[in-house]
Structure 1
Amino acid sequence: MSRTRTALAAGLTLLATAGLPAVTTGGASAATGTLHVDRAPGANCSNSGSGTAAQPFCTVAAAAAVASAGQTVEIAWGTYPEDLVITRSGRQGAPIVFRGKARGDGSQDAVLIGAVEGPSNGIKVRGAEFVEFENLGVVTNSQALSVTVDGAKQVKFTAVHAFGALLITNGSRQVTYARSNLNGTYGKPGVTVDGGSTGVVVTTNTVFAGYEGRPSVLVDGAPGTVVVSNTVYADCATGIALDGASAGAVVKNNVVDTARSQNQRCADTAAATGISVAPTATDGTVVDYNVVDPRSDGAPYRWADTAFPSQPEFTAGTGQGAHDFVAKVYEPRSPDGPQAASTDSADETAPGMLPVDRIGDGPADDPTVRNTGTGKGYRDRGAVESRDFGSVFTPAGPVRLLDTREAVGVPGTEAVPAGGTVDLQVAGEGGAPLDGVTAVTMNVTVTDPSEDGHLRVHPHGTALTQTSSLNWTAGRTVPNLVTVPVKDGKVSFYNSSGGTVHLIADLAGYYSAEGRLTFTPNSPWRAMDTRQDVRTECCLRPAGTVGAFDALDVEIHAPNIAAATLNVTVTEPGTDGHLIVYPGTELMPAVSNLNFQAGETVANQVVVKVNEGHITIRNASAAPVHIIVDLFGTQSY
C-alpha cells in the first residue's frame, strides 16, 4: 500500500469547512427546524423521540426516517455503526440535508457512518430527490461500496470521504460529488458512474483505484458526465476511463498518476493508461487542461482504441488536449528546479469548478509561476491548490504604526516600563489587509532609553525566546529593520531592560499568500555615494553633501520593479538627526529609517517601494550629511 493511500485511510475523516452553494429558493410546504442525532454517553438520545437538541435521535437512520423537505439532520461528532438508506425526498429549494459536526476541539474530524469491524453497507440513496450530505466519513468492510446513488436525482455530496468506492447508477440524474477522498475497493473503481445516469459532476476529489487493475474513475454508459479538477491515482491501472455510451463528457483540470506507488514504472505498462476514451464515448467529449504523469511508462492517452504516447501526438491525432501536460504531478520546490505543471494553469471556466479546493482553501496565485490558465489565470489543476511557495512580500507605506511618544498605536504617551510589553495591531493597518497577513517588515526604533537593554519583537501571544531585535545603550536612539510573524493580527514588543524606553515602528511591507512580487537578489551594488561623482540616468550628480532638511533622489532601475532592499548609510553628519527613505515623487511620510548623532557613521537596512524607478532620501537634520546607498535586491512584478 502506498504512503498516500495509507494516509488517506488514516485521515479520511478530515472535515472540509465549506461546501457547494445550496439552492435557496424556498418551497411553500417545506418543513423547518433541525433534527439532532447524538449517541454519545450523556446525550440522552432516543429513537422514539422527536430529535430535539435536548433528546436527540441515537441513530442517523431514525432521523432519516422522519426528515422532511427543508430540514437539516445535524449529526454530532462520533461514529455511527449503521447502514444508512435514504428514500425520503426534499423539494426544489428545500432539500433534506445530512450534516456532520466537527469534534469541536480544532481536530476537524468528521462524523463516521458505518464500521470496518463487521458488515456495513455505507450510505445508499434510492430513488430520492433533493438530498444533500456534508462533512461525513463513510467506512465499510473491504468488499462493500461506501456510497451508492441508485435511481436518485438532484443529490449533492460535499466532503463525504469514503474508504470504499462510490457508485452512481440506474439512471440517476444531476448528482454532484465534490471535495472528498475516495478509495476504490476490491475489484471496483474509486468512482463508477453507469446505468444511463446523466448530468453527473465529479469535482475536486482525490481518488484512488480499486484493486485488480480497475480504473480509478470509470464512466460507463453515462452521457454528459463532468470529471473536473480531481487528483487521480491509479496504481498501474487506467486513471480516468470513459466507456460505453458516455458521449458528451468533460474531462478537464485533472491530475492523473498511474505509476506504481505513484512514482515507479509499471510491469504491465499497457494497463497504465492515463485517460482512456472508448470509440462509443468520443462524440462531443472534451479532454483538456489535464496533467498526466509519465512515470508508469504507460500511454498517457487512449482515444478510440488508439494509444498516444505524448501530448503533441494526442492533440495532432484527435484535436484534444491542446493545453494538457505530460509531466510529473508534483515537483519539489527548489530555486533551480522545474515548477509543477499543474500550478496556475487550470481552465477556470470548466463546468463543475468550485470556489474552493478539496480542503476548503481558495485559489492562491504563485508569484514565481507565469499564469497560463483561463479566467484569472491562476487556478491550479487537481483537487488541492498549491501553497508550496509560502508567503509573498508586498511593500506598504512606509507608514507609522507605533509611537509611544505620540499615542500612535497605543492609548497613551507613557514610556514602556522595564519588562513591559506593547501589543500592536498590524493586520488591517497601514495598507496591510485585515486577513491573511503572516508577517510584517517594520523599521523599529527605540528612543530615550533610561538604561542599557534590548528589545524583543515577537508574534503576539507567544512565549518569549532568548533573542533580540534591537540593542541600545542608555540615552541613544537606535533603529533596526525587523521582520516578525503575525499572530491574531498583532505583534508584540518586549522591553528587556531595567529602565523605560519609547518605541517607534514604521511599516515597510507585509507577507501573505497573495501577491505578485518576486525577490531578485543582487551582489551588493552601490547605487549612490554622495562623496563621489555619480552618473545617473539623466545627468551627473557631482560629489557633495545633502543639505539640512534637503532630499536626495536615487535611481533604482530593474524590469517591473516595485520595491528595493537597500543598505543605507549616513556619514559625517554635522548634528543629530535621522533619514527618511520613501518612494520617489510621493509625499514625505512621518517615519524614520536611520537615526544618527553628530559625527558618527550609522547604517541600517531599508525595504522601500520604488516609484517610477526612483526613491527619495530626506536628511531630517539641521546640518549636511553624506549618504551611501547599496542595493541588495529588488522585488518585481
Structure 2
Amino acid sequence: MSRARRRRQLATAVVVAATSLVGAGATLPAVAVDTDTLYVDNSAAAHCSNFGSGSQAQPFCTVQAGVDHAKAGQTVQVAGGGGRYAEQVTVHSSGEPGKPIVLAGRPSGPRPSVGVSLSDAQPENAVGFLLDKVHDVTIRNFAMEAIAAEGVLVRDSAAVTIERTTMSDTGMGNGASGQRAVPAGAPAVRVTGTSSRVTVAQNLLQEGHGDAVAVEAGVSGAVVTTNGVMTAQPRGIRVTDAPGTVVTSNSVITLDGAGVTLAGASDHAVVENNVLAHEHFVKDGESSTAELSVSAGSTVGTKADYNSVHGWGSGAAYSWAGTDHHLADFAAVSGQGAHDVEETPPLGLDGNHYGTVKPTGASGATDSADASAPGMLTTDLAGRPRVDDPQVANSGTGAGYYDRGALELQAVGSLTVLADRDQGPYPLPVTVTATARQNWPDTLTYTYDFGDGSEPLTTTDAKVEHVYRAAGTRTVKVTATGTDGTPATGFAGGSISVNEPAELAPVLGVNQVGFDGPFSYNFALYGSTSPWPLTGYELDFGDGSPKETHEISYGAHHSYRRPGDYTLTATVKDGGGRAATVRQVLHVGYGKMGYTPITPTRVLDTRKPGTGGRPQRLGPGQSVTVDVPTPFGQPDADAAVLNVTAVNPSQAGYLSVYPAGTDRPPTSNVNFAAGQTVPNLVTVPTGQDHQVTVYNFSGTTDVVVDVMGSYRRSGGSGFGAVSPVRLLDTRKSAALDADSSVSVQVRGVGGVPDDATAVVLNLTSTGSDAGGYLTAYANWTARPGTSNLNFTAGQTVANQVVVPIGADGKVAVYNHTGRTHVVADVFGYYGPSGSSLFTPVVPTRLVDTRQSSALGQGGVLKVDTGVPAGATGAVLNVTDTASTVPGYLTVWADKAPKPGTSNVNFPAGKTVPNHVTTPLGANGAFDVYNFMGRSQVVADLFGYFAK
C-alpha cells in the first residue's frame, strides 16, 4: 500500500471537530471566551490588506500580519481554501493566563496551509510556526505539508498548546548546500530550550522525515496526548532529558523503531494508554526493534502501563534500562506494564500495513484505558466523545470505558448515505438510504437534513423519501444517534442538482483525429443537455457499419473507408426515460496537404526476407500492406509518394496501389509484361493505420516499394507548378557512364525558385547499352540504396521522380551499369514559395480511349479532371497501350503552348504507365499529345493541387 493511500485512510478516520479538550487529568490551559477576532484571508475575493485592521470586511493577507497585531485574549482567524500561506509564522507576542492568543484555522473543511515551499526555504524561514520566548499561545486547526524544517518549533516558551493540526512530509530539507542548506530530519513538532507546560494534542502527524514529536533537554511539564502518528522514520515520539513528560493516548506507527522513546534522564514520566505498532515487513527469522524504549536514566519514577504493543517475529516490544523484554517478563522485571496487551488483528490492522490503528470490539484496547491518567481527554483524535461498548467488559480505571490510543470505538463505525438520484427537474422525488456500520447493536435515530431549507426529518427509518420543489444544488446530511446520544454524521456522495424542467436537447460533437487513418473521427454526445442525467446514446455512422451504444461519458471512434457524405444519427437517453434524436451530415474527405521529402527509404522488397514483412513473390489476386515511415517528431502521413517496382513478373499484368483498409479501385499504377522490371512513381493516400496496400492482378511478381516523401494536413511545403522545361539531355553531349553521376541545376532554372526544397522531374533513360537503373537524389548527399528508373538495353523508358534539392541547388542522377543517355524535364517544385497544397482523391479513371477511338499521330486529347475550380495542378497516372509504333506522350495544361518535353515513352505494342504531375488550365483540364502512330491512352486521377 502506498504512503499516500495510508495517509488517506488515517485522515479519513480523523475529522477533527471543534470539541472541548477538557478531560480527566487533562493539563490543557483554559480558553476564555474570545473578546476580539482578527481575520486573515489571502483569497482573491477577500480583497485583503496587511495595512488595515484585520477586519472581516478587509482581512490581513498574511498570518504573520495577524499575529503581529494580536493581543492577549484575541483570536487570529485564518481562512482556508485560498491556497497556501507561503510564510514562516513567527510568534513574538504573548497572551495571559486564561487569555491566550489563539491562532485558529478552520475546524472543518479545507484548512489553511502554512509554510514556504521547499525551493524557497532557507534556514531563517524553513519552519511552519516558530514560537520563541512567548507564553499563553494556542495554535489549532492548521495544515502543513512539505515543510523543509519543523512544522512547529517551540523554543523557551510556556503554556503553549498545539492542537487539531495536520502535518505531513515535514523535515524534508531543501536539498541546498552551503549557507542556504536546510538539512532533512527535523521533527514535525520540536519543543526545546526552557519550554514548560507545552501541550501537543489531537494532531495528525504523517510521513515526517524526523521524529513526529521531539521533547528536548531542559523542557518540563510537556504533555503529548491523543495524537495520530504515522512516520516512515524509526522514531515516533522522542523525549530526551525532559523529566515529567506525559505521553498518553497516542496511536504511533513507525517504520521499525520505537513508537515512544524516553532517552537520557527523562525520569518521572507517564507513558499510558498508547497504541504502538511497527510498519515493518519481517521475514522468517527476523524480528523488530522495541516499540517502547526507556533508558536507564528515565526509569526512576516513570509509569508505563495500559499500553497496547505489537512486536514482529521474535522481537521484543520493550527496551527497559537497555535490556529488551517481551510482554511476558516486562512487568516482572520492570514493575511496569501490568495492564499492557500485545495483539495484532484486534487492533484494526488491515493485513500487511497499518493503514489504521484503532480498537475493535474484539480488541484488548477497547474499554481498557486508564481514564485517570494525566493528559487524558474526553474526546478522541476525531473530536468524538468517549463511549462505552456494551459488549465489552470495562477493565479500565476511572470511567472504565475509555479506549487506548488516539481513536475511540464508536457505536456507529461509519455512516453511508446514498441518494437514488443526483439530478433531475423539480418536483424531484429522491429516496435517501442511510446505512450504519454498527460496532454493537443499538437503536438508532436518524435526522435527515435535505439541504433545501425544509425542516429536518427525525425518524428511526433508515430509508426516507423527499421531494425537492425548487431548483438548486442540495447536499443531504444524515446524523445517526444511538441510545447513548453519540452522533455519527454522513453525507450523500456528491450533491443533488435540482434543475428547472426542460426538454432533452441532443448535441453531437464530431472531431477528425486521423491517428489511425485519414478518415478517422471521434464522436461525443456529452454536450447534450437535460435536467435529468444523460444515461447513454446510440450512434449510427451512416456508412452501413454496426451501430454503437455507449455511456454518455464515453466518446465513440470510427474510421470511414472512403470519402463521401454520411448522415450521422444519434439518439440520446436521459434518466427521465426520455430519448431524443439528432441527425447531421458529415462530409468525409481529404484535406489540403503539404509535402515533406525524405531520404528514399525501402519499405518492401519481396526478393529479400525481412524487408517489408513478406519474403515471397506476390501471387495473382494477392496483396501486401506496407507501413509508411514517419520522420521523428512529425505526424503520420496522410498520403505517400512511392516508387513502386514490379520485378520479373511471370506474365503481363499490373499493380494497383491504394489506401489500406479501403475498397480496391478499378485503376492501375504499374503495368508490365512478362520478365520486365517496371517502376512507376505513385502518389496514394494512406489508409487504416496510415498504411498502403499493393495488389497484383495476375501471375506472380516481386515487388519493391521505396518511400520518397509524404503529404500531411499539418506541416510540409506547398507545390508550385511550372510549364514543363527540359533541364538535361545528355544526347546533346555524352552518355552517362556506369557507376557515375551527373549534377543538374534546378534552382533558378525553368521557374524553380531559390527556396525550393524538392523538385518534380520526369526522368528518361534512352540508348542504354546494358540493363540497369538510375537513382536521383540531392546533390552532395549520400546516395540512397534505392532506384527511380529501371531499364533494359536499348529501351527508352521514363519515370517521374520527386527529388530533394541539394544545398547547392542541384540534384544528382546516378547510373548503375553500362552507358545510357539521360533526359530530365521539370514539372514543378515544393518549398516556401509553393502556394498550392495537395488534396488526394479516390483514384478515378478520367479517360480510356479503348472505349472510343485511339489517339492518332500528332493528335491532342483534352481531358477534363472535374476538380474544384481554381485547381493549379493534377497528379495522374497516364498509360499508353497498343501503340502502333514507338513514340511518346506529352501532357500539359490545356490552353497553354505545348512544351518540348515528354511524359510517357513507349515501344510499339506495349503497355507503359507513368506518374504525371501536370499544371492545369483555368478550366481544370489538361491535354495529351501523341507524337507518332496511333495509341490508346488511359488517364487516372489521384489528386490535385489548389491554393
TM-score higher than 0.5 here? yes
Contact 2:205 2:228 in 1 (8 A): yes
Contact 1:259 1:295 in 2 (8 A): no
1:280 is the counterpart of 2:309? no
CA deviation after TM superposition for structure 1 residue 10, in Å:
7.1
What is the one-letter code of the residue matched to 2:131? V
Contact 1:173 1:200 in 2 (8 A): yes
Contact 1:12 1:161 in 2 (8 A): no
List aligned pairs for 1:462-473, cutoff 5 A. none
What is the one-letter code of the residue matched to 2:161? K
CA deviation after TM superposition for structure 1 residue 386, in Å:
1.3
Which residue is equivalent to 2:818? none
What is the one-letter code of the residue matched to 2:79? A
CA deviation after TM superposition for structure 1 residue 299, in Å:
1.1
1:347 is the counterpart of 2:347? no
Which residue is equivalent to 2:856? none
Relative contact order: is structure 1 or structure 2 higher (C-alpha 8 Å, sep ≥ 6)?
1
What is the one-letter code of the residue matched to 1:136? F
Partner-residue secondary structure (3-state), 1:227: strand
Which residue is equivalent to 1:600? none
Contact 2:217 2:242 in 1 (8 A): yes
Distance 1:24 1:438, change over 3 A: same
Distance 1:494 1:73 in 2: 42
What is the one-letter code of the residue matched to 2:396? G
CA deviation after TM superposition for structure 1 residue 109, in Å:
2.6
What is the one-letter code of the residue matched to 2:316? A
Match of 1:217 among 237, 250, 255: 237
Partner-residue secondary structure (3-state), 1:302: strand
Contact 2:111 2:143 in 1 (8 A): yes
Distance 1:117 1:245 in 2: 35
Which residue is equivalent to 1:203? 225
List aligned pairs for 1:85-96, cutoff 5 A. 85-96=90-101
Which residue is equivalent to 1:247? 267
Distance 1:205 1:295 in 2: 23
Distance 2:4 2:402 in 1: 27
Distance 1:372 1:83, change over 3 A: same
Q: C-alpha offsets along residues 397-447 of structure 1, whole Å, 9 cap, x if unaligned? A: xxxxxxxxxxxxxxxxxxxxxxxx9xxxxxxxxxxxxxx96348xxxxxxx
Match of 1:80 among 82, 85, 101: 85
Distance 1:31 1:367, change over 3 A: closer
Distance 1:295 1:91, change over 3 A: same
Unaligned runs of 5+ in 2: 23-27, 171-187, 351-359, 415-428, 430-441, 466-479, 487-947
Which residue is equivalent to 1:111? 112
Which residue is equivalent to 2:7? 6
Using the TM superposition, name which of 289-298 and 348-357 deviates more.
Answer: 289-298
Q: C-alpha offsets along residues 253-282 of structure 1, whole Å, 9 cap, x if unaligned? A: 00000241xxx3269966621101000100
Which residue is equivalent to 1:194? 216
CA deviation after TM superposition for structure 1 residue 462, in Å:
7.4
Which residue is equivalent to 1:397? none
Distance 1:224 1:8, change over 3 A: farther
What is the one-letter code of the residue matched to 1:98? L
CA deviation after TM superposition for structure 1 residue 15, in Å:
4.2
Contact 1:347 1:375 in 2 (8 A): yes
Distance 1:245 1:293 in 2: 26
CA deviation after TM superposition for structure 1 residue 209, in Å:
3.1
Distance 1:37 1:222 in 2: 36
Unaligned runs of 5+ in 1: 392-420, 422-435, 441-458, 464-486, 496-509, 517-637
Match of 1:177 among 187, 200, 205: 200
1:139 is the counterpart of 2:145? yes
Distance 1:461 1:195 in 2: 52
Which residue is equivalent to 1:319? 335
CA deviation after TM superposition for structure 1 residue 11, in Å:
6.6
Contact 1:236 1:268 in 2 (8 A): no
Distance 1:134 1:41 in 2: 24
Q: C-alpha offsets along residues 516-560 of structure 1, whole Å, 9 cap, x if unaligned? A: 9xxxxxxxxxxxxxxxxxxxxxxxxxxxxxxxxxxxxxxxxxxxx
Match of 1:129 among 132, 135, 148: 135
Q: C-alpha offsets along residues 184-227 of structure 1, whole Å, 9 cap, x if unaligned? A: 533x211111121010000000112353x3x1111111110000
Q: C-alpha offsets along residues 428-477 of structure 1, whole Å, 9 cap, x if unaligned? A: xxxxxxxx96348xxxxxxxxxxxxxxxxxx86779xxxxxxxxxxxxxx
CA deviation after TM superposition for structure 1 residue 235, in Å:
1.1
List aligned pairs for 1:419-458, cutoff 5 A. 438-439=444-445
Partner-residue secondary structure (3-state), 1:63: helix
What is the one-letter code of the residue matched to 1:243? A
Partner-residue secondary structure (3-state), 2:46: coil
Instruction: Specify the structure having the higher radius of gyration (Cα).
Output: 2
Distance 1:49 1:13 in 2: 36
What is the one-letter code of the residue matched to 1:316? A
Distance 1:73 1:326 in 2: 44
Partner-residue secondary structure (3-state), 1:7: helix
Contact 2:273 2:404 in 1 (8 A): yes
Distance 2:368 2:300 in 1: 26
Distance 1:115 1:13 in 2: 26
Distance 1:57 1:65 in 2: 11
Distance 2:36 2:450 in 1: 42
Partner-residue secondary structure (3-state), 2:72: coil
Match of 2:247 among 221, 227, 230: 227
Contact 1:156 1:176 in 2 (8 A): yes
Distance 2:283 2:409 in 1: 27
Partner-residue secondary structure (3-state), 2:247: strand
CA deviation after TM superposition for structure 1 residue 132, in Å:
0.5
Q: C-alpha offsets along residues 570-603 of structure 1, whole Å, 9 cap, x if unaligned? A: xxxxxxxxxxxxxxxxxxxxxxxxxxxxxxxxxx
Which residue is equivalent to 1:503? none
1:149 is the counterpart of 2:150? no
Distance 1:515 1:99, change over 3 A: closer
Q: C-alpha offsets along residues 216-262 of structure 1, whole Å, 9 cap, x if unaligned? A: 111111110000000000111111110011001000000000241xx
Distance 2:377 2:66 in 1: 30
Distance 2:324 2:114 in 1: 41
1:357 is the counterpart of 2:404? no
CA deviation after TM superposition for structure 1 residue 24, in Å:
5.3
Distance 1:36 1:231, change over 3 A: same
CA deviation after TM superposition for structure 1 residue 389, in Å:
6.4
Partner-residue secondary structure (3-state), 1:111: coil
Which residue is equivalent to 2:277? 257
